[in-house]
Amino acid sequence: MTTSWNYPDAALRAELKKIADAITAPGKGILAADESTATVGKRFADIGVENNEENRRKYR
């Protein structure tokens, strides 16, 4: 089976590199989490952190 591949144009490659650089910067990354706000709330309660949108965003 033969696979055909065309590289994206230069503008798209530059945009993808910019995104990759941003998510691999120190202190950044990707977290795949499938937790409800209630589950996160239990985790936060254990460590004394308020369960609010800002803290959930920081946690993620």
CA angle 21, 24, 47 (to 5 degrees): 145
Query: 3-6, long-range: CB within 8 Å, 24+ apart, which pairs?
Result: none
pLDDT at residue 9 tops 80: yes
Is residue 21 very low, low, confident or very high in pLDDT (cuts 50, 70, 90)?
very high
Regarding predicted confidence, which is higher, 14 or 39?
Answer: 14
- Distance of alpha carbon 44 from alpha carbon 37, whole angstroms: 10
Q: What is the pTM of this model?
A: 0.46
Note the pLDDT tens digit of each residue in 27-57: 887 767 778 888 889 989 999 999 999 998 8
